[in-house]
Homo-oligomer: A and B are copies of this chain.
Amino acid sequence: MRVVTKIVPRYQETDKMGVIHHSVYPVWYECGRGDFCRALGMPFPEIEKRGLAQALVELNVRYHRPAYYGDELELVTRLTGMTGVRLIFTYELRNQNGELVNSGQTTLAWLDDKLRPLNIKKRHPDIYGLLLAAIDAGCE
């Protein structure tokens, strides 16, 4: 599954170099991840109601070219790997000219509501199954 999120840069997200500040991309990734889970019928608030949380354990970002205020960006979010305890999402952000602006990957761990590690495959096989069906195989 590929989920597309439209991103309109905010003026507050610019910095004095005149471009979108590098710390904003992980926030946009999180928006993409939220849209992905929503598209899967499992929005974050639903996940939390079931006593679950996802915490970042690793973040990797590559900056290919700057994004600017006034751009109209498209973020593609895919689930590219998972185990019972981990999820890997991969992101690609392109501008209105189709140019690759930014790409990245996040690894998340499943936690319970006390923020303790948890195996989703064992404890919530329905969620595990939903995600498994959404993996975008054959990509990096």
Contact = CB atoms under 8 A, between A and B. Distances in A.
Interface of A: 8, 10-12, 14-19, 21-24, 26-27, 30-31, 34, 43-45, 53, 55-63, 66, 69-70, 115
Nearest to A18: B16
A18 B19 CA distance: 11
A11 B26 contact: no
B44 A115 contact: no
Contacts of A22: 26, 55-56, 59
A43 B11 CA distance: 12
Q: Helix, strand, loop or mixed for chain A's interface?
A: mixed
A12 B15 contact: yes
B10 A30 contact: yes
7 contacts: A10-B31, A11-B30, A19-B115, A22-B26, A22-B56, A59-B59, A60-B61
A11 B23 CA distance: 11
A70 B57 contact: no
A26 B26 contact: yes
Contacts of A27: 10, 12, 23
A63 B117 CA distance: 14
Contacts of A56: 22, 61, 63
